[in-house]
Amino acid sequence: MTGELESSERLVLSELLNHVLDKGLVISGDVTISVADIDLLRVGLSVYLTSVETVEARAAERGESPLSGDDRISVLPGRERP
């Protein structure tokens, strides 16, 4: 499935995983069921990031720098402001 993702989708997913997997406030003590095996999550992430960065390189070769153009910021889908 990941092989079918567009490069922009891969970039978004890579950043998403960076943010949602082990950031945020950890609620300890009261959580009845939790996923504590962050190492496993990180393994999957690091493998994934390697392929993401390859896609980034190809985008960069084509001049698709996230900071090029008028709006010099890479805006994630769904994050555009009116």
Q: Is 12 helix (H, G, I), strand (E, B) or coil?
A: helix
Q: Which amino acid is at 54?
A: T
Q: Applying CB under 8 A, which residues contact other proteins?
A: 1-2, 13, 15-27, 29-35, 37, 40-41, 43-44, 46-50, 53-54, 56-57, 60-61, 65-67, 72-76, 78-79
Q: Radius of gyration of the chain from Cα atoms?
A: 16
Q: How far is the CB of 34 from other proteins (least distance, A)?
A: 6
Backbone angles phi, psi at 51, to 5 degrees: -70, -35
